[in-house]
Structure 1
């Protein structure tokens, strides 16, 4: 039993019965999905930034990550790269499947859009993607 704002007890099933004729549905919580798993046999690359994620010029360092967006049809995967100097999104890609192509496409977009000079550092976590 849950309490309404007036303090009267009310059940979830009763609320569902009241909502149904009006075409309303509750938004259900999505099941947790683990996002990052380090590959156990591959060594980690050196942490060049050492958690000091700042640069003095644009296009010297990018940071990236992947997130999962729930939709009516299932999960949508989004890879994003940010420029550390401006904090602007410089590359992104979306896909229904998480694979190396997703991250590759985000990086290629950033390189195509920004044309960074040699020496660019790209940092991300150690996911299996």
Structure 2
């Protein structure tokens, strides 16, 4: 383990994989690897990115956060013009 803020600190990635395994992977039985891949993609795209709120980004979902950033960038461009 490194110190806090060190570039090798993987806390966000470790948190994601912990959540993925606890909330999805360990709760399902997959008949094939392809089914596991499709299920993982669906969980990430439909649940984790679209609806699950994250404390690090102000309790917004990643999708809401990205939309908010895009809206701010658009407003900045329009104000500069």
Greater C-alpha Rg: 1
Normalised by the size of structure 2, how large is the TM-score?
A: 0.24
More helix per residue: 2
More strand per residue: 1
Normalised by the size of structure 1, how large is the TM-score?
A: 0.18
